Amino acid sequence: MTSNVSTQVRGAFVPVQIGPLQLKNRFIKAATNEGMSPNGVPSRQLVQFHAGIVAGGAAMTTVAYCAVSDDGCTLPNQIQLNEQTLPHLRALTDAVHREGGAASAQITHGGCFVFTPQPGQRRPLSASGGFNKIGLMSGMFFKRQMTRADMQRIAADFARGARLAKQAGFDAVEIHMGHGYLLSQFLSPLYNKRTDEYGGSLENRLRFPREVLRSVLDAVGREMAVLCKFSITEGVRGGNHIEEGVAIARALEAEGAHALVLSAGLNAESITTMFGSSFPAENRAVVTNPIMKLAMYLQQRFEKPREFKPLYLLKYARQIRAAVNVPLAYLGGLTSAEGVSTLCDEGFDLMAMGRVLIHDPAWVRDLQQGALTQSGCTACNRCVAMMYTEGGTSCVLGRAGDPILNSLPAAG
> Is the model's pLDDT at 356 over the cut of 90?
yes
**pLDDT computed for residue 315 by the predictor:** 98
365-376 pLDDT, tens digit each: 999 999 999 999
Q: For residue 365, give the nearest of 32, 63, 169, 100 by alpha carbon.
A: 100
Window from 256-260, 344-348, 380-384 with minimum mean pLDDT: 380-384
> Is the model's pLDDT at 271 over the cut of 80?
yes
Element (H, E) at 105: strand 102-108
**pLDDT computed for residue 297 by the predictor:** 55
Q: Which of 32-41, 250-259, 279-288, 398-407 has the highest mean pLDDT?
A: 250-259
Q: Is residue 1 part of a domain?
A: no
Q: Is residue 408 part of a domain?
A: no
29-59 pLDDT, tens digit each: 999 999 999 999 999 999 999 999 999 999 9
Q: Tell me, what CATH number does 304's domain have? A: 3.20.20.70
Confidence bin at 8 (pLDDT 50/70/90): confident
Q: Is residue 305 part of a domain?
A: yes
Cβ atoms of 81 and 161 closer than 8 Å: yes
**pLDDT computed for residue 7 by the predictor:** 79
Contacts of 226 (CB under 8 A, 6+ apart): 19, 162, 172, 173, 175, 213, 216, 217, 220, 256, 257, 258
**pLDDT computed for residue 75 by the predictor:** 83
Confidence bin at 281 (pLDDT 50/70/90): low
Cβ atoms of 236 and 269 closer than 8 Å: yes
Confidence bin at 303 (pLDDT 50/70/90): low
> Is the model's pLDDT at 283 over the cut of 80?
no
| Active-site option among 181, 198, 316, 330 | 181
Q: Is residue 114 part of a domain?
A: yes
Question: Per the structure, how many domains does the chain have?
Answer: 1
Q: What are phi and psi of 278, to 5 degrees?
A: -75, 165
Q: Report d(CA 141, CA 134) in Å as an integer.
A: 8
Q: Is residue 4 part of a domain?
A: no
Structural domain boundaries enclosing 129: 10-401
Q: Once rounded to an integer, what is the mean pLDDT over residues 279-289? A: 57
**pLDDT computed for residue 76 by the predictor:** 78
**pLDDT computed for residue 299 by the predictor:** 54
Average pLDDT, the chain: 92
Confidence bin at 139 (pLDDT 50/70/90): confident
Cβ atoms of 142 and 129 closer than 8 Å: yes
Tell which phi-psi region holds residue 81, choosing left (phi > 0), alpha (psi between -120 and 50) or beta: beta
Q: Report d(CA 374, CA 158) in Å as an integer.
A: 38
Q: For residue 395, give the nearest of 6, 22, 7, 32 by alpha carbon.
A: 32
Q: Once rounded to an integer, what is the mean pLDDT over residues 156-173? A: 98
Confidence bin at 386 (pLDDT 50/70/90): confident
Confidence bin at 2 (pLDDT 50/70/90): very low
Percent of the chain with pLDDT over 70: 93
> Is the model's pLDDT at 103 over the cut of 50?
yes
Q: Is residue 124 part of a domain?
A: yes
Asked about 191 being catalytic, the answer comes back as no
**pLDDT computed for residue 347 by the predictor:** 97
288 versus 380: which is more confidently predicted?
380
**pLDDT computed for residue 293 by the predictor:** 54
Q: Is residue 5 part of a domain?
A: no
Q: Once rounded to an integer, what is the mean pLDDT over residues 233-247? A: 97
Q: Once rounded to an integer, what is the mean pLDDT over residues 110-114? A: 94
Q: Once rounded to an integer, what is the mean pLDDT over residues 166-178? A: 98
Confidence bin at 388 (pLDDT 50/70/90): confident
> Is the model's pLDDT at 176 over the cut of 70?
yes
Q: Is residue 391 part of a domain?
A: yes
> Is the model's pLDDT at 1 over the cut of 50?
no
